[in-house]
Amino acid sequence: MIPQETVNRILDAAQIVDVVGDFVTLKKRGANHMACCPFHNEKTPSFVVSPSKGIYKCFGCGKSGTAVGFIMEHENLSYVEALKYLARKYHIEVVEKEESAEEIANRQRNESLLLVSEFAGKFFQDSLQTPEGQAIGYQYFKSRGLEDETIRKYGLGWAPVSRKALSEAARAAGYKEEFLVETGLSIKYDDGRLVDRFFDRVIFPIHSVSGRVIAFGGRTLKTDKSVAKYVNSPETEIYVKSRSLYGIWFAKNEMSRQDKCILVEGYLDVLSMHQLGITNVVASSGTSLTVEQIRLIRKFTSNVTIIYDGDGAGIKAALRGIGLVLKEGLNVKVVLLPEGQDPDDFARRHTLEEVQDHIARNEQDFISFKTDLLLGEAGSDPLKRATLINDVADTISLIPDAVKRAVYVQACAAKFEIDEQILTDRVSRSRTDMLLAEQKEKERARQREENRAALQQPQAGDVPPPSYDDYIPSEYDEPVADVPEEPVLEGGVVINEPHLAPCEKELLGFILEEGCTELDFDRDSKFYVEGETVNVAEFIDGILADDDAHFVNRSYRKVYEEYFHMYDEGLPQQLIQKRLLDSMDEEVSAVAKELLIAKHQLTVKNYEQSLTAVSTRLVIYVPKTLLTYQVKKVELFLKELTVELTRTDDPERQVEIMTRIGEYNKARARLNNELGRV
């Protein structure tokens, strides 16, 4: 099998537009891309690719899925073969092996670290509401112009002055010391004392692309120079600084919609810009821009605008970033702010229109930016001008696309008034040297890997480790009893009770699409409870549990159980959706695709939905669907009782059945009356 870590790398690297674009010509339309469907003949494009959701959908033939699913369908490959195809495309080495007990433990450990981080995030948020947090942390955020909604949305918090507050709260909640230490939230001394890394600081949580809290940045409010201004989480199994961007979880959809990413430096730069209304902004969180961060951006857009301070340090940072962005094939522009201002200051001092206008008027491509900057330094000195031209040519050589390189060479030659061929030759030599250097480095890396592998080879007399099979309980190999034969319908969905399947499908759709959305019931609703809130998933699950009911349809039941297994682990809604769509279980992925990838058919229900807010719609339709489901279950019981009545000759049994039929008829009437009221 392919190790899960490798599978995750493949899925993270696979960009739906990039993958589909290898087979069809995509044209951008708004936030999406369109083409004629590769799966059936058509003249008018109805095939849509959504980079923000990572899915494709044909509204002609109905085919849909993720990047993996597209390769499986188009190339007629299995799930594993499709993963290998994408691994080759993105130059990811795949070494298949059985998952060992140690790897299973590591995966579980990884999840434990995430749960501890999410507990800490909630703890810091709650601490901001205490008198201490309000007096210090909250006042600081307000002094920086942050509104309550921004503070809540981005999970900003306060680490109490006490050095043991978080550690003690986490242990009291049942979290293990080892995970507190591994995440860097706690520090354990040799004498056994456990203290908090973050204390007496305002807290900025860092989220992964899927929305989970993976790390924290803590800023001191003291002016004492001996106290570090920022304390950050150390790198852990769940947090690698060079692969993370602050704000990516909140910005990725807008990056895709606008087909543009704005890159800044700090936490407050991101927060102020987002609060102003410019939400396609992320930050490198105080680190120099890395290749991994650029590749993360490339999953959502190929256009990057770097906004840095107008001082010397900001200019140097912008120059460092240009080369890396170009080398990864992205288009880069630079905006410098007035000297003495950073994006945070600029956003707070100007309106949304003024900031947007400044960006639009001052965006420069890298040639204009670099030449304008360096020409001022070179002046009329011919040697300095030659050095500048070579510098720009070397930067152009980083661009992987030959056509783009040629266009930039023409622009540069015109700007410097030199022969285009001279510049072309310089670019060609620089690119050749760069590629040779990369090849040598790859060879050295391969040799190092071979040397490590050789050292890990078992020596004579070594006892081989037990295989993965040794850790599987024997009862897993036994067949499951009493599972009836069930017909498979089109789309891979198994139906064993068509009477209930439509309602189960509707309920499951609510859970998968809006599971974490809160239901805001009116005070006169039978479902309203003073001081309590409930989301869609918990509401449906609670009603079914009260009735001691479970889905009868096998496919829907399987997805329902998969969803709540991940939900109980604390995974965010979007990550659950992605895992269901990419599930190796074809039955699960088929249901997820059917429910999560919108059909956009113009029906009465869709028309009604288009006229109401999501929250209003859910408050109406979720209880209505549950009541309909209960009615249909009662009707099913009545049908079974009626059949039994015709088959029995026992007078006592007939009376018993008639009594039950009367009770069920009353229940159906009550439910129908309630359904009418809803």
Q: What is the pLDDT of residues 467-525, one digit of tens each?
A: 323 323 322 223 323 333 333 444 444 444 566 778 888 888 889 888 888 888 777 77
| Predicted local distance difference test score (pLDDT) of residue 484 | 35
- What is the domain partition of the chain in residue ranges? 4-89, 101-239, 248-433, 501-677
CB 72 within 8 A of CB 23: no
* pLDDT tens string 27-84: 888 778 888 888 887 778 889 998 877 889 888 888 888 888 888 887 767 788 888 8
Confirm or reject CATH 3.90.580.10 for domain 4-89, answering yes or no.
yes
- Per the CATH hierarchy, to which homologous superfamily does domain 101-239 belong? DNA primase, catalytic core, N-terminal domain (3.90.980.10)
> What gap in Å lies between CA 109 and CA 507, rounded to an integer?
33
Alpha-carbon torsion 481, 487, 489, 495, what sign? negative
Short-list 382, 379, 386, 369, CA closest to 323? 369
| Predicted local distance difference test score (pLDDT) of residue 207 | 93
CATH T-level assignment (fold) for domain 248-433 = Dna Topoisomerase Vi A Subunit; Chain: A, domain 2 (3.40.1360)
pTM higher than 0.75, yes or no?
Answer: no
Print the SS3 string covering 52-92: CCCEEEECCCCCEECHHHHHHHHHCCCHHHHHHHHHHHCCC
Dihedral Cα 537, 539, 542, 547, nearest 10 deg: -110
The stretches in the chain having pLDDT less than 50 are 459-496, 599-611
| Predicted local distance difference test score (pLDDT) of residue 553 | 82
**DSSP-assigned beta bridge partners for residue 308:** 336
**DSSP-assigned beta bridge partners for residue 188:** 194
